Every structure is written in C-alpha cells, then in structure tokens.
Amino acid sequence: MSANVSRVLPLVGVADVTREERLRRSVDEHYLFVWRSLRRLGVPESEADDVAQETFLVFSRKLDGVDASAERGFLFRAATYAAMHAQRKYRRQRTLEESAAILDGDGEHPSVEEDAERQETLVLLDSLLAKLSDDLRVVVILCDLEEMTMNEAAEILSVPVGTVASRLRRARAGLSAGMTRITRSMR
Amino acid sequence: MSELDPLLRRAFDAARAERPRSGKGKAQTLAALGLSAATATASAGAGGSVAGGARLVSAWPWWGIGVALVVTSGAVLWSVEESAAPPAAASVAAAPVVSSAADTAAPVLTVDQLPNVAEPPSVADGVKLAEATSAAGSTSRRPALRPVLAPGPSAVASESLRDEIEAIERVSHALSQRRCGLARAHLSAYDARFPNGKLRREADVVGIEIAGRSGQTDRARSAARSFVARFPDTPYALRLAPWLRDDATEGRGPASVDMCTDAAD
C-alpha cells in the first residue's frame, strides 16, 4: 500500500468500521422487528418507517453502552418509548366505522380483495390491542406476535417470568373476549 | 397457542406477516445513520436500483464491503475538502463543480485501486470535481465552496432516490465527524441538486443540526421551533429536542450534543 493511501486511511479507524458494521447488521436484523412492533404499538403504517428511523438513531447514540446480546431488548424498549411519544401526535383511535371507510376506499382496487381482508383483520387486532394496558400489550407483541419465549420477554421487560405468564393470560383473555364481541356485533 | 380463538390466531398470523410496503424506510434509516444504503437495502430486497449493492454482497465479505464503502466515502470527503481549501490568491475562488456520473453499480476497489492523493478525485468513485475560477475581482474571504451540479440531461436523469440518499449521507457523515464546514458544503450541494428532494425534511433537520453544532445555538433553536411548528407531527422532533430546549447558550450547545471541532468555520 502506498504512502499516499495511508493518508486516506486514518479517516477509517478500525473502531469506526466495527461500529458501522454493528449498526448496519442491527438494522438488517432488527428493522422488521422494530417496524412491526411499532405498528402493533399503534403507529400508523405511514409513519412507521420514520419512527423506526428515530428508534435506530437512539440506538446509534447509545450503541457503546448496549451489549450485543441485548440489542433486541434495547430496540424494543426504544421503540416502545418512540411509539408512546409518537402516539400523542399520530395515534388516532379509529373506530371500526372509520376503518371500514378506509377499507372501502382500498376495495376500489380490483386486485386487493385478499389484502383488504388482511388489512381488516389487522385493524381489528390493533383496535383490540389499543384497549389493553401497555403492560399487557407489550407482552402480546413479544410472545404472541414476535414468538419470543416468556423468558426472553421477561428479560426484555425486566419483570419475572411469572408476571409475563399472568399478563399474557389476561391479555389473551381480553383479546378473545373482544374478538368474540366484535364478530357477534358484525353478524 | 392452541387455546386461542381461531380469529385471534388468524389476526396474529396477519400481524406477523405484515411488512413495510417498500425498503425505502430501511434505506433511509441507514442513510440517517451515516451508512451506505446499498448493501443492506439489497438484503431487504428493495429492488433494482441497488442491484450493484446486491452483487457486492454476494461477492465480498461484509467487512470488505464496509472497508470499501468507508474508504471510498472517506476519500471523496477528503478530496472535496482538499478542493475546498482556501486558494492562495484571494482573487481566485475555487468553485468545485460536482457532476454525478450516470447511475452505476457501487464501486469495487482492490487494494491497488485505493485512491491515491495524486489522483484526481474523479478516479475515486465517479464523482467528478472540476475547479472553475470565479469571476475576476472576487475578494470574498470565504471561497465559493458551493458545489454546483453541472447542468445537463444526464445529471437530471441521475436524480434518483439513491443519489439523493447518498448526497444526504455525505452531509451526515461529515457531521458525524464533527466537521460542520464540510457538512455545510455537502448540504449546499444537496440543496442545489435536489431543491424538491424526497428527503427535504431530513435536509432541513440536518441543516439545523449543523447550525447548532457549529455554535449558532440561537439560530438552531429558532429554526428547530419553526420546523416543529410547521410539522407538528414530525418524529424529527425527537432529534431536534436538544435544540428545542433552553439549556444551551449561543456558542455552546446542549450538554448532550457533540459540537463540531471546526465550529469556527
């Protein structure tokens, strides 16, 4: 390598490369997890990318203090905080009527029948999740939607496994009851 | 989950399957972090505009790609800065004219091809820097550093989102190195090239950060408040939070912010 190259290389410290690689890998591995979590935490689809970006910016600033094995938990907590912050501005508690109106608009497209059904299911789920307390909602997101074990969820949420189990039980019961109530009312 | 209501199970399945409609958000996140979007976007399956990045991913180990991208980026930044150095004669102002090469795959460098200081910047990664002398009699202390897009159909055609992300990325990278002067020059280049860009808000926010981190705290605070008032729903409010508070005084930013080392620029 020529002496001239060495004049360029000091711009690229090994630590910088390592840090950039870690950031890049984290975005690659966890972006979808963060994005999906934000959606279920009530962030509208149109805003989820922006809030996910904010989440990763927070992660970037705290990177040196986050253990590699705890990245996912940190990102989830950061996403939860970002979603709470964003909710004050974005989150509208859509009624089913409003959601239906949105879906009607989507239905004008001839090839989206299946997608509309999926969207309807998601809107329904989100409306039920929104009725849960924050404590119950995050447990459902981690255990039922992201399919983490109760131990993993307990670690991320810093609560005992037994607490996760009981919250999950209550959350599922609430969701099932809500689902039954809504489907009955739609008949 | 066998005890779950079937409708609830179906809803969970739908939620697990939900995806962003495009890879744009991920690419923008990488850009905001000062990382090249090419490689990771390729892994997100974002599409053809990053096909070069996808090829890189398959051919290079990750660390190699990182080194190549960062070295290339560093070389360009270094080159721009070198070009932007004040001229010896006050009557001649260097005005780097940046013209983008046509969309091509991300450059792949071997060790032998690493940029050499004796080489013109255009060899580094397709970004061509041409110096033009200013009008005679220019006595401005500060040279005309605004890189201006050379007009022409090829330049217009190359104004893709990828180009725009890269342009913003150069600003963020310079800012992350606490070099506000360089960041400002790159932002001027972005402004000239993408006056109605898709990342306009990002550019506005990074402009505020440049002002604040270069010591213009009052200006940054005023601009930040104006921005948040104009876009009350913006998530950028989080990023602008240090400049929305009153704990900074002119010339000295908030405690949580790293000021630029060239703040006097």
* Range with the poorest average pLDDT among A4-8, A89-93, B13-17, B130-134: B130-134
Domain assignment present for residue A55? The answer is yes
Return d(Cα B79, Cα B131) in angstroms, integer.
12
Distance from CA of A37 to the nearest CA of B (A): 10
Domain assignment present for residue A18? The answer is yes
Is residue B148 over pLDDT 50? no
Domain assignment present for residue A152? The answer is no
Nearest by CB to A17, from B21, B67, B114: name it.
B67
> In the sheet where B148-149 sits, what is the strand order?
B128-130, B97-99, B148-149
Residue A1 identity: M
Report the domain count for chain A.
1
Residue with the larger pLDDT of the pair A57 and A100: A57
Domain assignment present for residue A30? The answer is yes
Question: Measured between CB atoms, does B17 come within 8 Å of chain A?
Answer: yes
pLDDT of amino acid B41: 41
Is residue B149 over pLDDT 80? no
pLDDT of amino acid A187: 60
Is residue A65 over pLDDT 60? yes
CA angle A108, A110, A111 (to 5 degrees): 125
Is residue A119 over pLDDT 90? no
Nearest by CB to A28, from B3, B40, B71: name it.
B40
What are B252's strand-pairing partners? B249
What are B128's strand-pairing partners? B99
Greatest mean pLDDT among A63-77, B30-44, B128-142, B167-181 lies in A63-77
> Of B169, B153, B162, B226, which is closest to residue B30 (Cα–Cα)?
B169
Is residue B205 over pLDDT 80? yes
Return d(Cα A180, Cα A184) in angstroms, integer.
6
Residue A95 main-chain phi, psi, to 5 deg: -80, 165
Q: Enumerate residues 144 to 163 of chain A having a beta carbon within 8 A of any beta carbon in chain B.
A: 144-147
Return d(Cα B25, Cα B161) in angstroms, integer.
12
Instruction: Tell me what the pLDDT averaged over chain B comes to.
Output: 62
Is residue B29 over pLDDT 70? yes
Domain assignment present for residue A98? The answer is no
Complex ipTM: 0.76
Domain assignment present for residue A80? The answer is yes
pLDDT of amino acid B167: 84
In the structure encoding, which two tokens stand for residue B41, read together?
A: 């976007």
Q: Domain span at residue A19? A: 12-91
**With contact defined as beta carbons under 8 Å apart, do B90 and B143 qualify?**
no
Domain assignment present for residue A173? The answer is no
pLDDT of amino acid B200: 83
pLDDT of amino acid A88: 65
- B252: enclosing H helix or E strand: none
SS3 B215: coil
Half-sphere exposure of B245 (CA within 13 A, CB side): 11
Residue B5 main-chain phi, psi, to 5 deg: -55, 135
* Range with the poorest average pLDDT among A15-29, A104-118, B34-48, B140-154: B140-154
Distance from CA of A52 to the nearest CA of B (A): 8
> Of A119, A114, A113, which is closest to residue A100 (Cα–Cα)?
A119
Q: Enumerate residues 188 to 217 of chain B having a beta carbon within 8 A of any beta carbon in chain A.
A: none
Could you tell me where the DSSP H helices lie in A88-160?
A: 96-106, 113-131, 134-139, 150-157
pLDDT of amino acid B60: 40
Quick check: B70 and A16 CB within 8 A?
Answer: yes
What are B130's strand-pairing partners? B97
Q: State percent of chain B over pLDDT 70.
A: 48
Residues contacting residue A165 through CB under 8 Å, at least 6 positions apart: A150
Nearest by CB to A4, from B7, B32, B118: name it.
B118
